[in-house]
Amino acid sequence: MSQGATTKTPTATTAQPAGTAAPQEAQYTIQPDEGYWLPRQNGAYSEQFDWAWSFYIWVCVIFFVIVIGPMTYFAFKYKRKSETEKTSPIDHHLQLEIVWTAIPTALLMYMFWVGFKLYADTQIAPNDAMTVQVTGAMYNWKFQYPDGTVTQELELPKDRPVKLVLSSVDTIHSFFVPEFRLKADVVPNLYTTMWFHPTKETDTAVQCAEYCGNGHSTMYSRVLVMPSGDAGAEGTFENWLANGGEKSSLSPLALGTKKYGQLCKSCHTLDGSKSVGPSFKGLFGKTESLADGSTVTVDENYIKESIVNPGAKIVQGYQNQMPSMAYLKDKDIEGIITFIKEQK
């Protein structure tokens, strides 16, 4: 697959976000909070995290004052008045030294405990968690749901635990959602996991947090948390999933346009110019000469075959570079066919 990443600012080039009640913006955002430090929290883990963070900040402030307060005071109080001044002979004080070793040690042990407790809670997912398979690649994310639906953004039901099983197809990435306060490296040849329990509807960003090359800083995706409910009701997660990861109201052409943007755009132009693959302009109905000398007329069956088994009939002058997209649903393929027909 070609490297889809570009040098543009991370505006949402990949998708028209599917529906939640909130109005959608083109830009990814990490929802802020009233405090100075952390973004908005989402889920039980974030609350625990934020408590541990406040605890830490207070420890930090107290120790900072204990060190820098006296330092500043001494700097003024004992500022040198003459070169021959004599100074204090006291060069050790056992009790004091025991106190300032023992108290910090005890406090540090407690800090370890707080950090460990928090960590333990992030590592064991409940049994009823929905498992989503996450695949990181240079430079995009792919999400596969238990029913086989594959999407480019992560949509989740509110108030239901979710477990992610992450892996990479190339180099190391890291899956980072600030709102959930979680991050896990995405490593080739290794499955890492993470779980969370979103309690708020949200539209927030996934960022790659492990340096992975030129597209690292544009390797975003979106996390949308939507209400959970009946598959028949519009706007619910179940409805979205039943429609193959789409809003049900999307026309085949709109669906095809979206899929083009997500999957085809980096290699197939719309203006007739040659790229990694043939342009879609005027493609439908055209007769193409193939690499093996035969010819084929571009119709519905040829397009479908090229999506599912791209190596079968390579057009002359091109390389066999396209990955199979056999995971696409018939509905998606029909959408893409409709879209290609429109490119006259």
Partner 1 sequence: MSRAATADAVYDESGGKNYINAEKGVVSWLTTVDHKRIGLMYLVSTLTMFMIAGIFALILRIELMKAGEDFLTPAMYNQAFTLHGAMMVFLFIIPAIPGGLGNFILPIMIGAKDVAFPKLNLLSLYLYWTGSIFTASSIVSTGLDTGWTFYVPYSTTVSQTSVIAVTFGAFILGFSSILTGLNFIVTIHKLRAPGVTWYRLPLMLWAIYATSIVQILATPVLAITLLLLILERAFQVGIFDPKLGGDPVLYQHFFWFYSHPAVYIMILPGMGIISDIIAVHSHRRIFGYKAIAFSSVAIALVGFLVWGHHMFTSGQSELASTIFSFITFFVAVPSGVKVFNWTSTMWGGSIAWSTPMLYAMSFLFLFTIGGLTGLPLAMVGLDLHLHDTYFVVAHFHYVMMGGAVIAFIGGLHHWWPKMTGRMYHETPAKIACALIFVGFNMTFFTQFFLGTRGMPRRYHTYLDQFQPLHAFSTFGSWVLGAGLFLVLFTFIHSLLKGERAPKNPWGGKSLEWETSSPPPTENFHRTPVVTHGPYDFATTGK
Map the footprint of partner 1 across residues 21-60, applying CB under 8 A: 27-30, 32, 36-39, 48-49, 52-53, 56, 59-60
Q: What's the Cα-to-Cα distance from 13 to each of 2, 3, 31, 96, 258, rounded to whole Å?
A: 16, 14, 20, 62, 10
The number of residues that bind partner 1 (CB under 8 A) is 94
**Interface segment toward partner 1; rule CB under 8 A; list 1-9, 244-252, 285-293, 302-310:** 1-9
Is residue 187 involved in binding partner 1 (CB under 8 A)?
Answer: yes
The residue (of 205 and 263) whose beta carbon lies closer to partner 1 is 205
How far apart CA 44 and CA 161 sit, in angstroms, is: 11
Interactions with partner 1, residue window 197-216 (CB under 8 A): 205, 207-216
How far apart CA 326 and CA 8 sit, in angstroms, is: 30
Interactions with partner 1, residue window 72-131 (CB under 8 A): 74-75, 78-81, 83-93, 96-97, 100-101, 104-105, 108-109, 111-112, 114-123
Query: Crossing angle for the helix pair 300-308 and 330-342, nearest 10 degrees?
Result: 130
The residue (of 21 and 120) whose beta carbon lies closer to partner 1 is 120
In whole angstroms, how close is the CB of 260 to partner 1 at the nearest point?
Answer: 25
- Inter-residue contact 298 to 285 (CB < 8 Å): yes
- Inter-residue contact 162 to 145 (CB < 8 Å): no
Structure tokens at 8: 């543009």
The residue (of 111 and 270) whose beta carbon lies closer to partner 1 is 111
In whole angstroms, how close is the CB of 77 to partner 1 at the nearest point?
Answer: 9
How far apart CA 227 and CA 273 sit, in angstroms, is: 44
- Name the DSSP letter for residue 314: P
Interactions with partner 1, residue window 276-335 (CB under 8 A): none
